[in-house]
Each structure stands twice: as C-alpha cells, then as structure tokens.
Amino acid sequence: MAGFHGRQGFHRRHAHRQWGPPPTPPHYGGFSGYALPPPYLSTIYQPGWSYGPPQPMPPAPSPPPSTPRLGTEIVTLLLRTQIEYYFSEDNLARNVHLKMQMDEEGWVSVHTIASFPRVKRLTNDVVLILRSLQPSPTVEVEDGKMRRRGTWKKWLIRR
C-alpha cells in the first residue's frame, strides 16, 4: 500500500486523499427523472441557430465625453468651488506645490490646474474651466491663466 509506513500510519503527503467511493457527478434531471444535459452543454447547439462564418464585432463604444452627464451648470459650479478652494487662504498657506507653479505675478496656467486630479475628474475642457471662473470673487482669470484675486503677492515664493 503506497504511503503506509508501519506504526506511523500514512505519510503526510498522502493526507489529502480521502477514503471511500469517488464523488457522484451532479444530477441534472428534470421532474420525470430523465437526465438532462449539463447547463454548459446547452450553449453548444441550439435548434434554429445559424452556424455560419463568424460575424464581425460591433463597433467599439465612443469615448466618454469630456464633461460628464452631470450637466454643464453643475460641472461649472463644481469646478469653480474646487478651484476657489485651491486659491483659498487656508489651502495656499500649506500648498507649496501650487505656489511653486505661480509665476512672478502669481499666475498659474489653466493647463496646470486642469491636470489636478479633482479637476480632471470633472472635465478636461480648459475653456469650460476658464468660463466657470469668470464670476468668481476669489480667482481672477486672464489669457489662459488664473491667480488669487487681490492678495496674490502674499503667496509668491521668492526664488
């Protein structure tokens, strides 16, 4: 008997083997007791299907729009709120990365702001980003750039 070692019993490498008859296959019978084919065989042949040459794949879905289905008004409000937070006193007090992006007059490119993950999740449309900031009391926009309105000099990093 393979795996038997006298008093020691069965060797550990054979411990996974079980005694007894092999397990019975699952029953796929109906109410009448006749055996039905297993479910995975029902997709192999179906009467009435045509079995011709393979058909071409349908076209791939179009890429998602740059502005989600939320609607332009909501996205505009969310953009303005998020970017006003970026230029808020609280955030600028600790956000060195944003301050490093400012030029000597405090301007930050809209492309830099558009690359921030929270803005990127809302849209990749820089025109929409600039338009959303027009009514902002915190951020001013000019020539594809933006900065904190009024107190921008306070946040410049001397280089």
pLDDT of residue 50: 61
Domains and CATH numbers, the chain: 70-155 (1.10.10.10)
153 alpha-carbon distance from chain centroid: 38
pTM of the prediction? 0.56
Q: What is the pLDDT of residues 78-109, one digit of tens each?
A: 999 999 999 999 999 999 999 999 999 999 99
At 7, is the pLDDT very low, low, confident or very high (cuts 50, 70, 90)? low
Distances, alpha carbon 74 to alpha carbons 6, 51, 65, in Å: 79, 50, 15
**Beta bridge partners of residue 148, listed in sequence order:** 139
- How many Å apart are CA 55 and CA 25, to the nearest integer? 36
